[in-house]
Amino acid sequence: MDEQIKQIAERLRGLRDAMELTPADIAIDCGIDQAEYERAESGEYDISVSMLQQIARHYNIALDALMFGEEPKMSTYFLTRAGKGVSVERTKVYKYQSLAAGFKDRKADPFIVTVEPGERPMHYNTHEGQEFNLVITGRLLLSIGGKELILNPGDSIYFNSNLPHGMKALDGKTVQFLAIIL
C-alpha cells in the first residue's frame, strides 16, 4: 500500500511541476484544502479517490493517469476479466479495482471496492457528481450527509456525492461493492 501511495504522490508532483503550478494553485483550482493536498503530495498519507478525481476532472486528464500511471487507450470497448482490474490499495481498509482503466474519455469511473472490517473511525469523502453503489458481498454501513444506512448483498444506492459520505464493513467481515462514480 505505502509504495502505491508514494507512486500516486509522485504523479501528483509531476503533474503540478509540468503545469508549473504551486500546491496553492491546485488547491484553489480544485476546491481542495491546501494542507490536505500537500499531505497527499508528500506520499506519507492516504490519498482519496475523490481528491484525485477532482484534480483529474479540473485539469482534463485521465483519473487512471494519476491512480495507475497509465493513460487509457481503448475507445470501442475495454474488457476487464474477473479479478484482473488494475487496483490500488489506498489504505489497509480500502482497495479499489478499476473496471474501465483502459477506456479513454469515459463518462463514469466503475470500481470494485473492498472494505476490510475494523474498529476505525469512518473516513468521509465528498466529490463532484453522483455515485452508484451495489453491494456484492458483506454488509455495509453507509453514511451520507449524516444519514446512516445499512446495505445488504444485492442492495444498491444512488446518491449525490457532494454530500459527505463514508462506509464501514459490518459484522467483522470484508465487504465488496460495485461503485460507479459519475
Which is more confidently placed, 97 or 133?
Answer: 133
Sequence-ordered alpha helix ranges (H) in the chain: 2-18, 23-30, 34-42, 49-58, 63-67
**Could you tell me the pTM of the whole model?**
0.71
Q: Which three cell numbers stand for residue 11?
A: 504523479
Which is more confidently placed, 72 or 151?
Answer: 151
d(CA 124, CA 102) in angstroms, rounded, equals 28
Which is more confidently placed, 96 or 2?
Answer: 96
**Highest mean pLDDT of the ranges 57-66, 112-121, 171-180:** 171-180
pLDDT tens digits, 42-56: 988 778 788 888 898
Is 60 exceeded by the pLDDT of residue 1? no
pLDDT tens digits, 7-29: 888 889 888 888 888 999 999 99
Is 70 exceeded by the pLDDT of residue 88? no
Give the model's pLDDT for residue 92.
62
Q: Are 62 and 11 in contact (CB under 8 A)?
A: no
Centre a 10 Å sphere on the Cβ of residue 127 and count the other Cβ atoms it contains.
Answer: 19
Reported confidence tier of residue 123, pLDDT bands at 50, 70, 90: confident
Task: Name the nearest CA neighbour of 170 among 130, 146, 143, 144.
Answer: 143
Number of helical H runs and strand E runs in the chain: 5, 9
Give the model's pLDDT for residue 85.
76
Amino acid at 52: L
Q: Which residue in this structure is represented by grid cell 446495505? A: 151
